[in-house]
Structure 1
Amino acid sequence: MFNPSREEARRFFIHAWQKHLRNQPLADLEAVVVDILEAHPEYHGFLSEDYLDRDWPPEHGDTNPFLHLSLHLAIAEQLAIDQPAGVRGLYNELHARHGDAHKALHDMLECLGEMLWQAQRTQSAPDPAVYLNGLRQRLGLEPQAYP
Structure 2
Amino acid sequence: MLFNPSRDEARRFFIQTWQKHLQNQALADLEAVLVDVLMAHPEYHNYLSIDYLDHDWPPEHGDTNPFLHLSLHLALAEQLSIDQPAGVRQLYQQLHQQQGDAHKALHIMLDCLAEMIWQAQRNQTQPDPAIYLAGIRRHLGLFQ
Q: Same fold (TM over 0.5)?
A: yes
Shift of 1:2: 1.9
Q: Give 1:136's aligned residue.
A: 137
Provide the aligned C-alpha RMSD in A.
Answer: 0.8
Which runs of 5 or more structure 1 residues have no equivalent in the other structure?
none
Aligned structure 1 segments of 4 or more residues deviating by more than 3 angstroms: none
TM-score for both structures, normalised by structure 2: 0.98
Q: Which amino acid aligns with 1:26?
A: L
Written as runs of structure 1 = structure 2, the 5 A alignment for 1:1-147 is 2-143=3-144
CA distance in 2, matches of 1:50, 1:19: 17
Which runs of 5 or more structure 2 residues have no equivalent in the other structure?
none
TM-score for both structures, normalised by structure 1: 0.96
Shift of 1:11: 0.6
CA distance in 2, matches of 1:2, 1:97: 33
Shift of 1:63: 0.3
Q: Deviations over 1:87-139 (max 9, x none)?
A: 00000000001111000000000000000000000000000000000000000
CA distance in 2, matches of 1:55, 1:87: 31
Aligned residues: 143
Between the two proteins, what is the percent identity of the paired residues? Answer: 76
